[in-house]
């Protein structure tokens, strides 16, 4: 089994340590893995060492926020020199903006009619790596736990039995805090071309993450994005329907780019997503051979 997309506590919305992720992979028989935290490469040292001790092939990774044509995307970097200062600069660039964006999200959440305070958010984030970054998922976690909002109509879809209750925290994020939604807070993300260049000059390969999520209504952009120098498409994803998977797989073949698979496992933020949940049909040895060939050219 292979899973090249999961998040640790070095992501603002991840639950587990890198070591704990490796142990979970061991239990279900994962043979190749990568921890791809949001805008942070710090998990790789611990994860790589733990994976080696447990006999798992580890691919250093990261997931970086970026933009193309004013649309926010995630690009995965694999096989990167994760100790390079380039990734520390990316992390700092995001971190420098995170607290103001958090305050903006708080103000917009209050504008929805919720009495929620900075103290509520600090109480949840105090032990996080990204302490000043309050994601939409975190607002959902706080609001859904507040007894005074047990019957609030805006929260009803995210409670057990509701139509958005499968992944309540992240669904609340997508519905209210993602780009174009009422509580969205703008962060100045680097251009996709810049991120692809950073990954390549650090000997990595660049892969567009879960395109079925970011390209809703804008699938025409994928061809242009591939022309920027991307090496692959995350075809197999927990977010993709069988029809989407077939379309992205065909596009990868037509454009001669690499195919990857990843669950986007986070833990409590996305409880219906498990490690290895991506329906990839490419055998381990074939995936490894393709990766080896890509990395040899870097």
- CA-CA-CA-CA dihedral for 213, 214, 215, 221, to nearest 10: -150
Burial pattern 179-196, b for ≥16 Cβ within 10 A else e, equals eeeebbbebebbebeebb
In tens, the pLDDT along 184-238 reads: 999 999 999 999 999 999 999 999 998 887 776 666 678 888 889 999 999 988 8
Residue 48: phi and psi, rounded to 5, are -65, -45
Q: At what angle do helices 168-176 and 136-145 cross, to 10 degrees?
A: 120
In tens, the pLDDT along 118-135 reads: 999 999 999 899 999 999
What tokens does 94 get? 């995001």
The 3-state secondary structure of 159-210 reads: CCCCCCCCCHHHHHHHHHCCCCCCCCCCCCCCEHHHHHHHHHHCCCEEEECC
Closest to 177 (Cα-Cα) out of 95, 93, 106, 238: 106
In the structure, what pLDDT confidence band is assigned to residue 88 with cuts at 50, 70 and 90? very high
Query: For tokens 């929805």, what's the residue?
Result: 112
What does the pLDDT average to over 278-294?
82
Report if pTM > 0.85: yes
Alpha helix (H) ranges present in the chain?
18-28, 43-53, 85-111, 118-125, 136-145, 168-176, 192-201, 211-214, 221-226, 242-254, 284-296
In tens, the pLDDT along 69-80 reads: 888 899 999 999
Whether 45 and 53 have beta carbons less than 8 Å apart is answered as: no
Whether 14 and 267 have beta carbons less than 8 Å apart is answered as: yes
Q: How far apart are CA 278 and CA 115, in angstroms?
A: 38
* Domains of the chain, each with CATH number or no CATH: 2-91+189-296 (3.20.20.140), 104-176 (no CATH)
């Amino acid at each position: 089994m292979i899973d090249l997309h999961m998040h640790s506590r070095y992501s603002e919305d991840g639950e587990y340590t890198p070591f704990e992720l490796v142990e979970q992979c061991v239990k279900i028989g994962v043979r190749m893995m990568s921890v791809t935290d949001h805008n942070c490469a710090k998990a790789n040292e611990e994860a790589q060492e733990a994976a080696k001790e447990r006999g798992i092939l580890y691919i250093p990774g990261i997931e970086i926020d970026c933009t193309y044509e004013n649309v926010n995307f995630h690009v995965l970097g694999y096989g990167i020199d994760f100790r390079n200062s380039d990734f520390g600069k990316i992390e700092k660039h995001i971190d420098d903006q995170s607290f103001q964006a958090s305050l903006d999200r708080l103000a917009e959440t209050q504008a929805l009619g919720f009495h929620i305070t900075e103290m509520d958010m600090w109480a949840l984030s105090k032990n996080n790596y990204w302490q000043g970054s309050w994601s939409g998922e975190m607002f959902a976690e706080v609001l859904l736990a507040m007894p005074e909002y047990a019957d609030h109509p805006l929260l009803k879809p995210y409670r057990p039995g509701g139509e958005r209750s499968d992944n309540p925290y992240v669904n609340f994020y997508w519905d209210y805090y993602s780009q174009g939604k009422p509580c969205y807070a703008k962060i100045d993300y680097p251009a996709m071309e810049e991120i692809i260049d950073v990954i390549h000059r650090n000997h990595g390969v660049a892969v567009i993450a879960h395109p079925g999520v970011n390209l809703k209504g804008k699938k025409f952009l994928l061809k242009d994005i591939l022309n920027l120098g991307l090496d692959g498409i995350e075809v197999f994803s927990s977010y993709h329907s069988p029809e989407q998977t077939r379309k992205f797989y065909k596009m990868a073949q037509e454009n001669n780019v690499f195919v990857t698979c990843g669950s986007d496992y986070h833990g409590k933020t996305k409880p219906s997503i498990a490690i290895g949940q991506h329906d990839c049909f490419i055998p381990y040895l074939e995936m490894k051979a393709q990766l080896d060939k890509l990395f040899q050219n870097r």
